[in-house]
Structure 1
Amino acid sequence: MNGVSFVPALGWIAGSVIAVLMVAFAVVGIVLHVRRGADGSDETLGSCIRRTAICLVVALMALTPSVVTKTTSRVTSATDVVIVSDITGSMGVEDAHYGSEQQISRLDAAKLAITDIVNAYPNSSFAALSTGASAAVDVPLTPDTGAVRNWADSLHTENSSNSAGSSLDVVIDPLLRTLKSIRDAHPDDRIVLYMVTDGEQTVSNTRRTFSSLRHYINDACVIGVGSTTGGKVPSSTAGQWVIDPSTGQPGVSIMDEGQIKALADELGGTALITSSTSTVANAQITKQAQQWRESDTQKERTRVNPVVWPLAILLVVLLAWEAGAWVAMSRRLL
């Protein structure tokens, strides 16, 4: 639908003032011509019409006539899934269950969870980060699901013998940069964050909140792997365990369900504790994944196109005519 409207380029105040002044000049010019005509003025009717037209054209240009056009554009909203996996030494503890009674390591349970996540989001893009003593972006945003699966298969735990303790918040800064870059590059996309961890934090420092990430995501899920019973942490040396320096005995790691739920709350998402019967594939979060898939929407936009150039051409012609008339009159006076 198209329409004509006035949208002053200089604003309504300045545009209106100029337009009123030009109309006033046109009226004054006509009045003076009528009065001078009775006294034998040499101003011709054509000159009066020309000068009046100049004033009226300038008034119209000040009001900036424009064509208003309404268009409908198609916007495709894709889904970007960001996956964070814990790779601290405690992820090697074999106390996890994932969809069966078989006891596996927490990291193996994380790998199965990542596979289910990828399967739940066809036609989506993925980014992946690993977090331990430090955090890094291992897979930049890509639609290549094979790259994410290869990344998951290659995950391994850090060397616990040299560990000074684990902190969950080391991933915040690189994760924040990743999410911000995705949002800036794809403002219409939906971003879903998945964190897979045992929730264990062994450093004494107070953990930073993850709430700063909420600005960049549409949904989040923190997936807990392990058990509240816990287990011994394997050392990098085969058949040996990480020794707890405070007791001199093999250290025992326990999944911190409270931390997992706190993380989910800070992210404004949900917590999923995996078990022999609870997995990503059969969880509510996977059912909700349907709403985050690619979707097409149509948005109506209004575009205003100023149409001043015909008036500008007319003004140039009138001014040239006026200049020619002045030159011709000057020669006659000489």
Structure 2
Amino acid sequence: MEVASMTLAWWNTLVFAPALGWPLGGALAACMVGLAVFALVLHARRARSAQGTDETWPTAVRRALLCMTLALAVLTPGIETTTTSRAVNATDVVIAVDVTGSMAVSDASYGSADVMTRLDAARKAVKDITDSYPDASFSAMRFGASASTDVPLTPDAPAIGNWADTLQPESTSVSAGSSLDAPLDQLMLGLKAMRQAHPDDAIIVYIVTDGEQTSAASRRSFSTLRRYIDDGFTVGVGSSKGGRIPVIRDGTSGSRIQSGQWVQDPDTGQPGISRMNVRNLKDIADELGGAYLPADATHTLRDEASSKVSSAWQVSEGTKQRTRVNPVVWPLAIVMVVLLAWEIGSWIVVSRRLI
């Protein structure tokens, strides 16, 4: 009973899909069927004629079977099978962190009343971002006087945390004033390449900065990035009260902050005060088509607002069924070999008799 049901299932999935196409394949198959019928009719007429024929009925049937088998082979029989493919829509998160000298100001807090530098708060924010996207890939870049992508796109979230721990504010000697659009060109190139390589991925951008713009040049708009991203956020670190900017010496080892030395305001000759600019942060978020996320004593990126944001871009899977036809011509090839061997053997026997 089980064998019968399997045979029936196989028969129900049998289809014909001519390799030469239905117009040409159908015409060739019709010709072969016509030849098979012609061979049988011709033999019957010769058998009824007065002269008769040396051709036997088995010979005529064998030749008709050869034509019929070839007709079936031209129609390319196959078994229809259904496959299920899984599509994964991944999330790519790009994090850009401000490392200008103002990020060394100690007026920031993150989830508590403890005061820390803005860059320390940025490090904590970066780690919370990676925790919010457990199945995502990440890319990280820093920007100050210039911008550079330090970590290409990778699913290794701990690598982003280790990168954040290495961030240091740029030295005072290379600082040319804070320009918020410093990462724009690098982001444009990276996001464009990312979108081309992963067209189905959701791409999210986080820009972590104090929002201060001290450069004399006007800031360019971040709206040019909207064609490549699905969402974008600015994360504000620091306070509106602000603080003095320490002098940061050149070098990479040890403490680079000069104790008791402050960057002077050239207009007043007094230590300059750097303040977080919420207005700039909200404007950039609007240009990205996203939102501004504060990071302070009562707000972290683990808060409910950020959780809602990140949950909208988790990895999603979808399945799609496809039907394909697997050609099954080898049984017909075996039948044709047997019939041809029979034909050749019969011809050899008849030839020897005639000698």
Structure 1-normalised TM-score?
0.76
Amino acid at match of 1:318: L
Unaligned runs of 5+ in 1: none
- Which of 11, 16, 41 matches 2:26? 16
Q: Which amino acid aligns with 2:310?
A: A
From 186, 191, 200, give the equivalent of 1:171.
Answer: 186
Match of 1:138? 151
How far apart, in 1, do the equivalents of 2:305 and 2:151 lie? 28
Q: Which amino acid in the other structure matches residue 104 of structure 2? A: G
How much has 1:322 moved relative to structure 2? 2.8
**Which of 234, 246, 263 is the equivalent residue of 1:241?**
263
**In 1, Cα distance between the equivalents of 2:207 and 2:354?**
92
In structure 2, the gaps of 5 or more residues are 1-8, 250-257
Q: How far did 1:154 drift? A: 1.6
Aligned residues: 326
- 1:280 and 2:295 are equivalent in the alignment: no
Displacement of 1:169: 1.0
CA distance in 2, matches of 1:51, 1:265: 80
TM-score normalized by the length of structure 2 = 0.72
The one-letter code matched in structure 2 to 1:210 is L
SS in 2 for 1:213: coil
Please say which structure displays the higher CA radius of gyration: 2
2:111 corresponds in structure 1 to 99
The alpha-carbon deviation at position 65 of structure 1 amounts to 1.7
Change (3 A) 1:47 1:190: farther
**Preserved contact between residue 95 and residue 106 of structure 1 (Cα < 8 Å):** yes
Structure 1's 211 and 294: CA in aligned 2 closer, same or farther, altered over 3 A?
closer
1:310 shift after superposition: 0.8
Partner of 1:25: 35
1:63 is aligned to 75
Separation in 1, partners of 2:220, 2:160 = 32
Q: Residue 278 of structure 1 aligns to which amino acid in structure 2? A: H
Residue 323 of structure 1: how far off its partner (Å): 3.5
Between 1:108-117 and 1:24-33, the stretch displaced more is 24-33
The residue aligned with 2:122 is 110
C-alpha deviation, 1:155, in angstroms = 0.8
Q: Which amino acid aligns with 1:134?
A: A
The percent of aligned pairs where both chains have the same amino acid is: 44
1:6 paired residue among 3, 16, 22: 16
Distance 1:24-1:120 versus aligned 2 partners, 3 A rule? same
Would the alpha carbon gap of residues 264 and 326 (structure 1) be closer, same or farther in structure 2, given more than 3 Å must change?
Answer: farther
Please, which of 228, 238, 241 is the counterpart of residue 213 of structure 1? Answer: 228
**Distance (whole Å) between structure 2 residues aligned to residue 210 and residue 266 of structure 1:** 9
Q: CA RMSD in A?
A: 3.9
Q: Give 1:243 shift.
A: 5.6
